[in-house]
Structure 1
Amino acid sequence: MWRVFSYLLRRNVFVARVIPDALAPTHSQGEEHMALQDIAERMQRGLDKRPLAETIKFDCGDDGAITLDAGQAVIEDRPAQCTIHISEPNLQKLIGGKLNPMTAFVMGKIKVTGDMKLAMKLGQLLG
């Protein structure tokens, strides 16, 4: 897994870089909280430009899950080929570019289960 995230980081391929205009701050500078719905909408903008055929889930535990399925970002806990386990606050930081994916992985803030090759497909969402 370390090699996968190292590769993603070297190639600037990860969720924190999902289409730059899709990640432009939509909240005021002082407002840091981003609801799961806001995160899903940002991911959807990336999927609209570069659809993903496979299913990837961001599992935020009790806070909910975002599943990227058939070109749609939905707030549902659906079965997925690849699941990225991350807390909602850490997902907010990751999407906002405030959490380094490599550091998060090493510290155990991100865990990936299922098909690791699909985590690489996140590059399709990246600009």
Structure 2
Amino acid sequence: MSDIVNAAVEALTEKLSGSFDGSAKFMIEGEGAIMLDSAGVRAEDGDADVTLTADADTFQSILSGELNPTGAFMSGKLTVDGDMGMAMQLGNVLS
């Protein structure tokens, strides 16, 4: 598992206090996957209601607050596959 994935798991765990209703997967290109669901946040790949994919720089910028998730999506830096409503919920939590 990469340092980038480990750092992202830690950052997401801090941002998401409480449980998450549903499941989401963050695919960091060239680094790995992060699952987020009612069990918490962990470095793992699996089926999810929504999958968000981006490169490592984009994810780091989103997690640090430098880049708005909606802006990343609109500019093509972040792709979303699956439940768009759940992606919007995550975007609100991350921004």
User: TM-score interval w.r.t. the shorter chain?
Assistant: 0.7 to 0.9
Larger radius of gyration: 1
Task: Give the structure 1 partner of residue 80 of structure 2.
Answer: 112
For normalisation by structure 1, the TM-score amounts to: 0.63
Higher relative contact order (CA 8 A, sep 6+): 1
RMSD: 2.2
Q: In structure 1, how many angstroms separate the alpha carbons of the residues matched to 2:57 and 2:94?
A: 21
Task: Give the structure 1 partner of residue 37 of structure 2.
Answer: 69
For normalisation by structure 2, the TM-score amounts to: 0.81
Between 1:87-96 and 1:113-122, the stretch displaced more is 113-122
Task: Write 1 or 2 for the structure with the bigger share of strand.
Answer: 2
SS in structure 2 opposite 1:78?
A: coil
Task: Give the structure 1 partner of residue 25 of structure 2.
Answer: 57
Across the two proteins, how many residue pairs are aligned to each other?
93
Call closer, same or farther: CA 1:106–1:57 in 2, change over 3 Å. same
Candidates 54, 58, 64, aligned match of 1:96: 64
SS in structure 1 opposite 2:48?
A: coil
Which consecutive residues of structure 1, in runs of 5 or more, have no partner in the other structure?
Answer: 1-33
Q: In structure 2, how many angstroms separate the alpha carbons of the residues matched to 1:99 and 1:107?
A: 11
